């Protein structure tokens, strides 16, 4: 994604960076429209031209002060800014964080929007629930914040350095370790890659069968993202048949989830199933929250997989999400 809503820094001493609250529908529409525009132009926001001179290599965007990774649709928005503006870093922080770390955002720099979604229960609703004995209704909200890339700041040279990048065709030991650590039932052989939910196994061709051997890891992470949707794990809807909207939604999750894991392991993400583009556009045009849900599910899937390797440096292990109860459906997801 190459264009992002932005906000200009006015110099040291500025208080806060959160923008005024806006109607949730407007923010959903704004982000969805920007991603649709990218897809219509033939660009996939989760697959970027990482080789551009001067730009950061593959990696998940992170808060440069806390080390915590950004998640969901924020990954797409921050990746887009890195590529569009040629930033050499995947590290981001707020205006106040830059000051707290002993540096500052350079005067005149424009920030990049990220969003925060949560729910709250109004006091009036709590009171109503106590009086009636009914469950209190929660109200969802979506808020935007502004962050700045490390390249837009001064005096922050001591923050976390960028991870070392690996050559394109090198066997990736970190990827091998992660695949093994999941304990997934991998069956090597045949000419196609797929996941079978009812039998809970993944099949992929041998690595030597791939024209570019690095694609073996991209394919494994795509299928592992499907694997996380099993009822015993993250319990996504795997019931869709090819050509249906549920199928397209799950493939969108697998595409982005694979890209997130690849980036975390310094493997350049690519599009595994560009032939689903029309179906994805149809889903996004019909529902302005679809990309938020898909990116959130992809981020949860990536976090689920990456947790087998332990937390990144300076980041605590997040609490496991509760598993939903859902019947298993026979489906082969490629």
DSSP strand pairing (194-196 vs 91-93): unpaired
pLDDT at 330: 35
Give 33-58 pLDDT, tens digit per residue.
888 887 887 777 776 544 444 556 66
Q: Which are the contacts of 32, defined by CB distance < 8 A and separation ≥ 6?
A: 284, 288, 289, 290, 291, 292
- Roughly how many angstroms between the first and final C-alpha of the chain, as a whole number? 25
Give 137-165 pLDDT, tens digit per residue.
888 878 889 999 998 999 987 776 566 55
The residue ranges of the chain whose pLDDT is under 50 are 1-8, 10-22, 49-53, 167-169, 313-334
> How many alpha carbons fall within 13 Å on the CB side of residue 253?
31
pTM for the whole thing?
0.67
- The residue ranges of every structural domain in the chain are 6-154, 173-309
Place of tokens 């996939």: 44
């Amino acid at each position: 994604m190459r264009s992002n809503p932005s906000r200009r820094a006015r110099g040291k001493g500025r208080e806060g960076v959160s923008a005024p609250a806006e109607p949730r529908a407007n923010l959903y529409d704004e982000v969805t429209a920007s991603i649709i525009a990218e897809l219509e132009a033939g660009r996939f926001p989760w697959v970027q031209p990482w080789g551009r001179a001067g730009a950061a290599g593959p990696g998940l965007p992170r808060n440069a002060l806390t080390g915590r990774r950004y998640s969901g649709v924020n990954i797409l928005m921050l990746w887009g800014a890195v590529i569009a503006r040629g930033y050499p870093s995947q590290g981001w922080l707020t205006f106040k964080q830059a000051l707290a770390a002993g540096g500052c955002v350079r005067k005149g720099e424009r920030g990049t929007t990220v969003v925060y979604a949560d729910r709250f229960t109004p006091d009036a609703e709590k009171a109503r629930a106590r009086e009636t004995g009914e469950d209190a209704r929660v109200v969802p909200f979506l808020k935007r914040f502004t962050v700045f890339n490390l390249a837009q700041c001064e005096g922050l040279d001591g923050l976390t350095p960028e991870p070392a990048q690996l050559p394109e065709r090198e066997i990736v030991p970190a990827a091998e370790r992660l695949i093994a650590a999941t304990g997934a039932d991998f069956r090597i052989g045949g000419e196609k890659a797929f996941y079978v939910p009812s039998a809970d196994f993944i099949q992929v061709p041998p690595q030597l069968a791939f024209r570019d051997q690095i694609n073996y890891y991209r394919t494994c992470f795509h299928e592992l993202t499907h694997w996380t949707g099993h009822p015993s794990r993250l319990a996504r809807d795997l019931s869709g048949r090819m050509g249906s909207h549920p199928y397209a939604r799950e493939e969108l999750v697998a595409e982005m989830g694979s890209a997130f894991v690849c980036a975390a392991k310094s493997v350049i993400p690519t599009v595994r199933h560009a032939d689903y583009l029309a179906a994805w556009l149809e889903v996004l045009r019909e529902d302005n929250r679809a990309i938020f849900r898909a990116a959130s599910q992809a981020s949860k899937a990536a976090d689920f997989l990456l947790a087998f390797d332990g937390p990144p440096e300076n980041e605590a292990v997040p609490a496991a999400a509760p598993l939903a109860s859902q019947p298993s459906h026979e489906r082969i997801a490629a």
